[in-house]
Amino acid sequence: MQGMLATLVDELRSVGIGVSVGEHLDAAQVLSRISLRDRDVVRASLLTTLIKRAEHIDTFNLLFELATAQPLDAGGDLVATLSDDQLQETLRQALGDDDDHLLRLLADEYVRRYGGLEPGRPVAGVFANIAVAKAADLDGIRAALIESAEGPVDAEGLGGAGPGSGSGSGSGSGLSGSAGVRRRLAEARADRIVARLRSDLRAAVRRALVADRGAQAVRSTMRVELPEDMDIVTASATEQQAMAAAIGPLAQRLTYVLARLATHRKRTLSIRRTMQRAMGTGGVPFRLVTEPARPPRPEIVVLCDMSGSVAAFSRFTLDLLVALDARLNRLRVFSFIDGVAEISERVREARAVGRRLTAGEASRGAVRWSGGSDYGRVMREFAGEHAHHLSRRSVVLVVGDARTNYADPGLAAFEEIGRRAGRVYWLNPEPRRFWNEGDSVIGRYAPMCAQVRECRTLRQIADFVQSLTVGTPGVR
């Protein structure tokens, strides 16, 4: 078990989760004092000693599962003798009985039969997950669970007119509402069961891969990363969900860092307080008193490209900036494609109810003509209609790839925006090696910007916001 712990700690450090020597020793001591037969107890004990941030829990759970993957349990040979129809029927019965041990055996058998895994092949198991989920017929299981839960509802007549009523209208209305609630509860229960089964199947795929190639090799091919280090542009739907969940904790931590950095800013001498303090020493100012440091609160204007693959990066940038709006004096948000639309109120309304701004809401009003990116038209429209609101305290942040579809980039209008604003920054989610190739004109905008950055992850966005807020210089 100590060898497993050492492997787990190495894997945690390799993905960016800091584990000190003291924490490693604490975890080793914990393992010596608990029962090692219950994996859930071991998992919870190591989680509390090794993990310090909530957004790292999912990554820990995955690495723990890889490090503790076990071969097939006793009984696997019996399950292997079942026909395909018997296997499907047994799976549905196990879900109804909530039999964890049998579900594990069945998941392993589904992977063996339908996963299509080839020994020694360096794969992450993506296609195996798809094939196994299709063979298990998750949609059919969900429909069957809902249908079985709705059976008693129809038998009781909850959807009908109701007995003992003259017209049946009053009783029927109430019972119909009850049937709707019952159906929603049945759907929620079915969704939970199917999600658990999908998780069991994915765990079975990982166990098969670990048994074949080892935990470290599987971890490298699965590209296990922290949510803040995932590439936003190429992230899958699951990875985007993990990143969205990490924005809140990341914003809280960044706010704490910015508050601490503000206390170390240069302070000005307070003549009045220094002289008051000197009254106790005969008017001699033995101790100087400074004014409290005021943290900078920039007025930020954000221009977000909502076209194509850049839209996902723009939305995550918006989410993080909105989560930090307490540190900002004012935040105005504009989306653009081939037109400009201010979405500041939509962003605030979405945040007030605790949800993300959808892609449709973010891009509403930003399409005027063809729907393709037209930076020149956008810069001219923004300079003509909104640039007069900018001041020297304003910071303009452009988020986009600067691909103009070979149209006029509107350099004169962009220069006017930079002249009126205090500073202009540009975040480009495209890899730097593709800059200025094809219709990319980022090199023509760069001389008019205080800073141009390649930015593809939440961590890079947070680093940029931190440097912006504390006033540290950046590298173009």
pLDDT digits (tens, 9 = 90+) for 417-472: 999 888 898 989 888 899 998 889 999 999 999 889 888 888 887 777 777 655 54
Residue 476 lies in a domain: no
How many Cβ atoms from other residues are within 10 Å of residue 327's Cβ?
21
| 74 to 88, 102, 462: CA distances (angstroms) | 20, 10, 49
Both 461 and 391 in a single domain?
yes
Using CA atoms, how far apart are residues 319 and 248, in angstroms rounded to an integer? 9
* Segment 260-269 mean pLDDT: 58
- Greatest Cα pair distance, the chain, in angstroms, is 99
| 355 to 27, 167, 341, 352, 468: CA distances (angstroms) | 37, 44, 20, 8, 26
User: Does the pLDDT at position 235 exceed 80?
Assistant: no
Placement of tokens 């409290």 in the chain = 292
pLDDT of amino acid 415? 92
Residue 169 lies in a domain: yes
Average predicted confidence (pLDDT) for the chain: 78
Both 412 and 305 in a single domain?
yes
Residue 166 lies in a domain: yes
Using CA atoms, how far apart are residues 191 and 180, in angstroms rounded to an integer? 16
pLDDT of amino acid 148? 80
Give Cα 354 to chain centroid, integer Å.
Answer: 15
The residues near 155 (Cβ < 8 Å, ≥ 6 apart) are none
Residue 232 lies in a domain: no
Using CA atoms, how far apart are residues 464 and 192, in angstroms rounded to an integer? 39
Both 8 and 123 in a single domain?
no
Both 303 and 448 in a single domain?
yes
Give Cα 28 to chain centroid, integer Å.
Answer: 32
User: Does the pLDDT at position 257 exceed 80?
Assistant: no
Using CA atoms, how far apart are residues 379 and 365, in angstroms rounded to an integer? 16
Residue 106 lies in a domain: yes
pLDDT of amino acid 154? 44
Residue 459 lies in a domain: yes
| Least confident segment among 278-282, 292-296, 386-390 | 292-296
Using CA atoms, how far apart are residues 84 and 113, in angstroms rounded to an integer? 9
Both 209 and 276 in a single domain?
no
Both 314 and 440 in a single domain?
yes
Using CA atoms, how far apart are residues 411 and 399, in angstroms rounded to an integer? 16
Number of domains in the chain: 4
pLDDT of amino acid 179? 75
CB-based contact 399:303 (threshold 8 Å): yes
Using CA atoms, how far apart are residues 280 and 276, in angstroms rounded to an integer? 8
Both 312 and 396 in a single domain?
yes
Residue in 376, 374, 448 with CA at minimum distance from that of residue 417: 448
> pLDDT category, 274, cuts 50, 70, 90?
confident
> pLDDT category, 120, cuts 50, 70, 90?
confident
At which of 51, 68, 85 does a domain end? Answer: 68
Both 172 and 317 in a single domain?
no
**Helices 215-222 and 2-14, axial angle in degrees (round to 10):** 20
Residue in 449, 379, 451 with CA at minimum distance from that of residue 414: 379
What would the pLDDT profile of 173-193 be if each residue is shown by its tens digit?
444 567 778 888 888 888 888
Return the sign of the alpha-carbon dihedral for residues 383, 356, 362, 317.
Answer: positive
H/E element, 340: strand 340-342
What does the block give as tokens for 456?
Answer: 């593809």
Both 102 and 143 in a single domain?
yes
At which of 68, 92, 112 does a domain end? Answer: 68
pLDDT of amino acid 468? 63
Using CA atoms, how far apart are residues 74 and 54, in angstroms rounded to an integer? 35
Q: Which residue has the higher pLDDT, 265 or 110?
A: 110
Residue 88 lies in a domain: yes
pLDDT of amino acid 447? 92
Residue 276 lies in a domain: yes
Q: Which amino acid is at 441?
A: V
> pLDDT category, 356, cuts 50, 70, 90?
confident
User: Does the pLDDT at position 121 exceed 80?
Assistant: no
- Rounded to the nearest 5°, which phi and psi values hold at 23? -65, -35
Rank 125-134, 170-179, 271-280, 417-426 by mean pLDDT and report only the highest. Answer: 417-426
What would the pLDDT profile of 57-103 be if each residue is shown by its tens digit?
888 888 888 887 765 555 667 777 888 888 888 888 888 777 777 88
Both 384 and 358 in a single domain?
yes
pLDDT of amino acid 151? 60
Rank 69-73, 130-134, 165-169 by mean pLDDT and report only the highest. Answer: 130-134
At which of 38, 68, 98 does a domain end? Answer: 68
pLDDT of amino acid 294? 60
H/E element, 454: strand 451-454
CA dihedral 211, 214, 215, 217 (to 10 degrees): -130
What does the block give as tokens for 357?
Answer: 């701004």
What would the pLDDT profile of 6-29 be if each residue is shown by its tens digit?
888 888 888 888 889 999 999 999
Question: What is the span of the domain harbouring residue 186?
Answer: 76-224
Residue in 37, 35, 57, 62 with CA at minimum distance from that of residue 47: 57
Instruction: Tell me how far apart the terminal alpha carbons of the chain are, to the nearest angstrom.
Output: 49
pLDDT of amino acid 111? 85
What does the block give as tokens for 465?
Answer: 């916001």
Using CA atoms, how far apart are residues 104 and 76, in angstroms rounded to an integer? 9
The residues near 269 (Cβ < 8 Å, ≥ 6 apart) are 288, 289, 290, 291
> pLDDT category, 379, cuts 50, 70, 90?
very high
pLDDT of amino acid 426? 92
> pLDDT category, 50, cuts 50, 70, 90?
very high
Both 259 and 365 in a single domain?
yes
Indicate whether this model's pTM tops 0.95: no
Both 280 and 362 in a single domain?
no
pLDDT of amino acid 380? 93
> pLDDT category, 364, cuts 50, 70, 90?
confident
List the CATH number of the domain containing 409. 3.40.50.410
CB-based contact 426:389 (threshold 8 Å): no
